[in-house]
Amino acid sequence: MPSIPTVHFGLAGLGNVGMGVYKNLLRNGDLVASRSGVRLDVRKIAIRNRDKHVAAGVPAALLTTDWRDLVNDPDISVIVELIGGTTDAYDLVKSAILARKAVVTGNKALLAERGIELVALAERENVPLYFEAAVAGGIPIIKAVREALIGNNIEAIYGIINGTTNFILTRMSDDGLSYDDALAEAQQLGFAEADPYLDVSGWDAGHKAIILAWLSYGQWVSPDQVHVEGISHLTRSDLAFARSMGYAVKLLAVVRLDASKNIEVRVQPSLVPRSSILASINGVMNAVAVYGDIVGETLFYGSGAGQDATSSSVISDLVDAADNLINEAGTNNGFVPHGQYGASLPVADTISSYYLRLHVDDRPGVIAAIASLLADHSIGILSMNQPEVDASANGADLMLMLHKASYGSMLAARNAIAALDCVRQPPVLLRVEKFPARHA
């Protein structure tokens, strides 16, 4: 048997995912070597607290508290960045590229906010940059778009790409929990951080959507051009009503191209038809539906987060980086976009149907006033539902399903309705998402 070459890598960050990479390579390193023809060897690990990791069984000789030691080590050919954030991580990745070391990262915020700089630098230096773990954890969605669908124009992507919010919405819908109780359970089970802002605000999914848009269309969309809404304003009533109407509520990332080649990128809680496969994605699982002009619809499903799932994607990228180095390809920079499309489509110009929930005075004339304002903005009412009024509720809930309109017109109508004296609480507005016909 011929000897198997070894590629030495440096690991920056030994948190949840970093520890997963370390322990899973110890467990399956021989398997990876036999399948890939290259052995991966961790040469050095940059951490903040040496004593903590020595106590956990990591050899002290592997540890350093300065990530620059990874960049400056001539034996290290690949650097894995798993420290998170956008400051030290940026400095590390930039330094690694300038040192002509291949980079693997799972840092979606870094790519979304500064990817345009890092990708340009990697292309200039002809250094591979890989980031499979940055989107949807263990689902190989980056490889799918980059390789399997390389012959397709991507028409649209619809994704449930945040497991925390999907768990919360599932518990609210299926078990009647309040938002606060479902979030507390997610935190207790380790599905949500102590500070859940990035998840529940929608921005974790927003960062991933920016990466998917670039992969699909070659256009970096600035975070300030991406419309992102979270789920904290939703109630059990919203999910129960959606269910009764044949919908599930999902935090949905949408990336698609309009007829004028403008890119639409947004993340919002949306009503998804129960006839859609995406409506059945429950708990912490993720799913991404990709529509190509040749292949049609493809669906990718799996664990979107967690130590093992995400570390699996990191190891996959490590193998690609090592293969690139061993075979001296010199041209595989992780992914090169296939073209530049038009500008980002303003969210006000996007079109959809809507769900609108209002809490209003229970008296004559209220519905007429609301209908009049909707008509003023050329928005028609598909259906209206008013649950039986509880005398102790201090008002009545009113749920409306509305015809298609631009989001700008819908926001203007919502704001006008919110200003009515009879409206007691801020309105809740959700999109009703319609998929291409072949999705059903």
Helices within 73-196 (DSSP H only): 88-98, 108-125, 141-143, 163-175, 179-188
In a domain, 285, yes or no: yes
Give the C-alpha separation, 169 to 22, whole Å. 33
Q: Which residues are part of the catalytic machinery?
A: 208
DSSP state string for 362-429 = -STTHHHHHHHHHHHTT--EEEEE-PPPPTTSSSEEEEEEEEEEEHHHHHHHHHHHHTSTTB-S--EE
Question: pLDDT tens digits for 150-199?
Answer: 889 899 999 999 999 999 999 999 999 999 999 999 999 888 888 999 99
Question: pLDDT tens digits for 56-74?
Answer: 889 999 999 999 999 999 9
Query: Rounded to the nearest 10 degrees, what angle do helices 16-36 and 307-326 cross at?
Result: 50
In a domain, 278, yes or no: yes
The pTM of this model reads: 0.89
Identify whether residues 294 and 219 lie together within a single domain.
Answer: yes
What's 292's domain CATH number?
3.30.360.10
Within 10 angstroms of residue 57's Cβ, the number of other Cβ atoms is 7
Q: State the residue for tokens 């664990």.
A: 303
CA angle 213, 223, 318 (to 5 degrees): 55
| Per-residue pLDDT of the chain in tens (440 residues, 90 and over written 9) | 468 899 999 999 998 899 999 999 999 999 999 999 999 999 999 999 898 999 888 999 999 999 999 999 999 999 999 998 999 999 999 999 999 999 999 999 999 999 989 999 998 998 999 998 888 878 889 888 888 888 898 999 999 999 999 999 999 999 999 999 999 999 998 888 889 999 999 999 999 999 999 988 888 888 999 999 999 999 999 999 999 999 999 999 999 988 888 899 999 999 999 999 999 999 999 999 999 999 999 999 998 777 888 899 999 999 999 988 887 654 445 555 555 556 788 999 999 999 999 999 989 999 999 999 999 999 999 999 988 766 566 788 999 999 999 999 999 999 999 999 999 999 999 999 988 865 44
The CA R_g of the chain, rounded to the nearest whole Å, is 24
Identify whether residues 202 and 254 lie together within a single domain.
Answer: yes
In a domain, 336, yes or no: no
Q: What pLDDT is stored for residue 326 in this prediction?
A: 85
* Stated length of the chain: 440
Identify whether residues 153 and 64 lie together within a single domain.
Answer: no
In a domain, 169, yes or no: yes
Question: pLDDT tens digits for 85-96?
Answer: 999 999 999 999
Identify whether residues 157 and 121 lie together within a single domain.
Answer: no
In a domain, 337, yes or no: no
Range of the domain at 39: 6-137+307-326
Separation of CA 279 from chain center: 17
